[in-house]
Amino acid sequence: MDLEFYFKPVDLPKIKLAPWAQKKFSLLSVVEKNHAKLSIEKAEVVIIGIGEDRNSIEKGSADAPDKVREHLYSLNRIDPRFKLLDLGNLVLGQTANDSYFALKDVCEELIQNGKVVIVIGGSQDLTIGLAKAFEDKTFSLVNIDPKFDYQKGSKSITSENYLNLIFEKHPNLFSQTTLGYQNYFTDSLELDHAGGLLSETVRLGLLRYNMIDIEPYLRQANLLSFDLNAVRQIEAPGQYFASPNGLYAEEACQLARYAGLSNSMKIAGFFNLIPNLDPQEIGAKLMAQIIWHFLEGMHSRIDETPPGNEDNFNHFLVELEDIDLPITFYQSRKTGRWWMQITDEQGSFEEIIPCTQEDYELTARNEIPDRWWRNIRKLNRLVK
C-alpha cells in the first residue's frame, strides 16, 4: 500500500513553537529529523491527523489535528532517537463512512507492520474506523468517556452512539470498557444492556479512588478511544460537553501513560477537541500533554508476557472450592504487575489477562474475583 496517497503532509517548518520552547530539545526536532531520514519501515510510532467531524453532534473538531500538533511538538523530545513519524492529515472521503474505511485501511496496514498508531481527531465516531482495523483478529477496546456512547435502537451514527455499530459489526470484540463515566449522564437501562453485551463501565469516583486498579484495563486493551469531554471543562475548554465534573488533567495524563505502557496497545485515538471553543488553547495544550504522556509511556515499555522466562515471574497456583480448575497467577519480578490465566468451560482455550494483586489476594481467601467471572463469560462467548 502506498500510504502517501492517503495523506496531506504537514508543513513541519511552519509549525510555530511556544515562546518558551527550545527547538533543539523539542519533539518537533525529532519529527523533522525523522521526516528527512527515517523510513516508515523503521518507524515505531506513527502519528496521523484526521479532520473528520461530519457525524459529530457538534461541529468544529475537524480543526483540531493541526492545533494539537502546535502544542505537542513544543514539548520535550522524550528521546532524541525516538522513532516517531508524522504522516500528516488523512484525506477525507466523500462521506464520513468513506473516511472510516480510509482510516481502517491505513491503520490496518500500519499495525500489521508492527507500528503503534496515534490518531488525532476529529470526532469520536472515528473509533468506528479504528475498530475496523481489527476485523481479522480479536481485540479489546477501552473508551475514556463521561458517558456510555451507546443508544439502543438508534439508526444513524453520531459521535454519541458509535458503539452501536462496533457492537453490531465486531463479534471478535473480546472486551469493551468505558472508564470515567458519570452516572447522571447515562441511563441505567443502557448500562444494563451494556452488561448483557459483556461491556464494563467504571464510574469516575471509583476510578479516582484507586487509579492503580484501572491500569489492568489499559494493559489488556489493543485500542484506546479518548474523549476530551471526559475531562472537567475548567481544565479542558474546547469541548461541547462542558461539565463541571470529570477527570482532572493529571488523571487524564496518568491514564494515557498507562495506555502507552501497554504492550498490547496498537492504536490510540484522541477526539472531540473543538478549537473555536478554546480561545486560550488550554484544551489543545492538555490534549497535547495527554498524547505526550502516551508517547512517554510507550517509550518506557517493558516487554514482559507471562509465562515467559521463569526467572522473570513468580507463579502462584490457587485452588478454589467452587471451580474444578485451579487459577494460575503470574507476578512480574521486575515491575510487580500481575496476570491471571483463564480457561473456557470446555478447557480447550486459555487466555492470560492482566489483573491486580487484590484479585490474587481474594482468590487466596477462596473468593472468586469479579475480573475472573467477567472474562470467563467473554471467553466462553468468543469461542462458541
For the chain, what are the domain ranges?
3-299, 310-383
The whole-number average pLDDT for the span 204-232 is 95
3-299: CATH topology: Arginase; Chain A (3.40.800)
- N-terminal to C-terminal alpha carbon distance within the chain: 35
In the three-class reduction of DSSP (H, G, I as helix; E, B as strand; rest coil), residue 190 is classed as helix
pLDDT class of 116 with cuts at 50, 70, 90: very high
pLDDT value of position 195: 66
pLDDT value of position 205: 94
Distance CA 366, CA 319 (A): 8
Beta carbons of 275 and 68 less than 8 angstroms apart: no
In the three-class reduction of DSSP (H, G, I as helix; E, B as strand; rest coil), residue 312 is classed as helix
Distance CA 233, CA 98 (A): 32
How distant, in Å, are the alpha carbons of 26, 119, 146, 274 from that of 60? 28, 17, 19, 5
pLDDT value of position 107: 97
Beta carbons of 177 and 214 less than 8 angstroms apart: no
CB atoms inside a 10 Å sphere around CB 2: 5
For 174-216, the pLDDT digits (tens) are: 999 999 999 999 888 777 777 666 789 999 999 999 898 999 9
Task: State the Cα torsion 125-128-130-131 to the nearest 10°.
Answer: 140
pLDDT value of position 2: 79
- Residue 90 pairs in a beta bridge with 7
The most distant pair of C-alpha atoms in the chain lies apart, rounded to whole Å, by: 66
Say whether pLDDT at 326 is over 80: yes
pLDDT value of position 197: 66
Say whether pLDDT at 382 is over 80: no
Look-up of cell digits 453485551: 197
Amino acid at 276: N
Distance CA 119, CA 122 (A): 9
pLDDT value of position 275: 97
190 vs 137, higher pLDDT = 137
Look-up of cell digits 510487580: 336
Read off the C-alpha cell for 286.
492538555
Amino acid at 343: T
The whole-number average pLDDT for the span 206-227 is 95
Beta strands in 30-80 (DSSP E): 45-50
For 266-305, the pLDDT digits (tens) are: 999 999 999 999 999 999 999 999 999 999 999 999 989 8
How distant, in Å, are the alpha carbons of 6, 17, 64, 77 from that of 34? 19, 18, 23, 12
* Percent with pLDDT over 70 in the chain: 97
Say whether pLDDT at 345 is over 70: no
pLDDT value of position 320: 83
CA 192 to chain centre: 24
* Percent with pLDDT over 90 in the chain: 77
The whole-number average pLDDT for the span 22-46 is 95
Read off the C-alpha cell for 187.
441511563
pLDDT value of position 348: 67
